[in-house]
Chain A
Amino acid sequence: MLGATINPLGIVALLIVSFFLNLLLSRYVGFEDEAATPLEDAIEGLGVSIILSAGLLFLLERVTLDMAAENILGVVALCSVPISLGFALGNALAPASGGEGADRVAAAGGQFLIGAGGALILSLNIAPTEEPILIAYQLEVPKLISVVILSLLLSYLIVFFAEFRGKEERLETRGSAAAAMGETILVYLIALLVAGLLLIAFSQTDRVDIAFFASTLVLGFPAAMGAALGRALL
């Protein structure tokens, strides 16, 4: 809730700095999209981050409509800054022809291994905190179902639609959209397994019940993003 407690003009300054960082990253690293200028890339990077942040914060009930508009804007803006930089940096980290040994892991279920690794990296620091349990406790079933749908949708978009290098190869390898979606669901299940095991490993539950399942779905969101990013970047 830091965005609700600091001066709005300070957040505006941070957004402007973030925009110029995006612009520089787009100029010198750039996405593959030949139809866009670095300026357009930077606008899309920050704009989509704001929209995504707002959607997630409302979905997870971190912001609600009964909050003051000033506070909603502050929280959404602060949340969007690291996301927008992540968009640009992600592409910088992705080697042009995939990571070293990427052609070997692409076969024989290597994608699932990469997915599990990515899920572990992103959810490892979140699992020991009380946030997954707290958020799961506060969310109604329809919101939890929305988290699952969003996890699957974003995973699919990151791997097969985001303009990371190698997107065409990934699409060609899968052959059809149904196969790509099938793989996305399987990797999501692996991410959920990783999330559930981490919650057990960090003693966040003493029994397997509905609350544990709900916490796993919540932690499964960052785990799914990690799995998708791992697959996209390698």
Chain B
Amino acid sequence: MSTRERRNGFELVVLAASLIAIAGVIGGLAYYGITSGSGPAELETSMIDTGKRVDGEKVYSLTVKNKGGTTAEDLIVEVTAGEVTLEVDIRFVTKGDTEEAFVMLPEGIEPQVKIVSYTEH
């Protein structure tokens, strides 16, 4: 015969929540581990005018989305608007994620974005 004490309601709730948390995290990671791609990083850039102006310049939101299966690290992104060229450093963009940076450029010129370099993790 066991002399073990009975668990109270709170302890049962903690145990149930713990089971759900473990199952959720392990199940989710296993699912993504099996189904997510493992190919190279696929980077997609976009520039959106935020509508803000600072010192007569437009503020743009630069986003880099990684649609590939590998994290891209140490990105150097070049933004050009007429004579002005800016270099934006982004530490990393993990697979499936989007990173954002803000740049200020002269008005009236459509900016061009180019990813100069990155490494794959």
Contacts and interface: CB of A to CB of B under 8 A. Distances in A.
Interface stretch (A73-81, A99-107, A218-226): A73-81
A47 B19 contact: yes
Given A43-B22, A48-B18, A5 B94 contact: yes
A36 interface: yes
Nearest to B34: A9
Interface stretch (A61-69, A184-192, A203-211): A61-69
B97 A11 contact: no
B28 A73 contact: yes
A76 B22 contact: no
Given A12-B26, A15-B26, A51-B21, A44 B14 contact: yes
A127 B25 CA distance: 31
Contact of A70 (B5, B17, B20, B32): B32
Majority secondary structure, B binding face = helix
B55 interface: no
B33 interface: yes
Instruction: Name the residue among A7, A48, A73 with the largest chain B CB count within 10 angstroms.
Output: A73
Interface residues of A, number: 36
A1 interface: yes
B11 interface: yes
Contact of B22 (A5, A36, A40, A50): A50
B96 interface: yes
A8 B29 contact: yes
A8 B36 contact: yes
A1 B94 contact: yes
A47 B97 contact: no
B22 A35 contact: no
B19 to A, nearest CB: 6
A74 B33 CA distance: 10
B15 interface: yes
A71 B96 contact: yes
A44 B94 contact: no
Interface string A57-99: 0000000001111110110110010000000000000000000
A7 B30 CA distance: 10
A47 B29 contact: no
A4 interface: yes
B52 interface: no
B29 A12 contact: yes
A43 B11 CA distance: 12
Contacts of B7: 35-36
Given A47-B19, A51-B17, 9 more contacts: A8-B30, A35-B7, A36-B7, A44-B15, A46-B22, A68-B94, A69-B28, A73-B25, A73-B28
The 8 tightest CB contacts between A and B, nearest first, are A47-B18, A68-B96, A9-B33, A8-B33, A70-B32, A4-B94, A35-B5, A8-B29
13 contacts: A1-B94, A9-B34, A12-B33, A15-B29, A16-B26, A19-B22, A33-B11, A44-B18, A47-B21, A47-B22, A68-B95, A68-B96, A70-B36
Interface of B: 4-8, 11, 14-15, 17-22, 25-26, 28-30, 32-34, 36, 71, 92, 94-98, 121
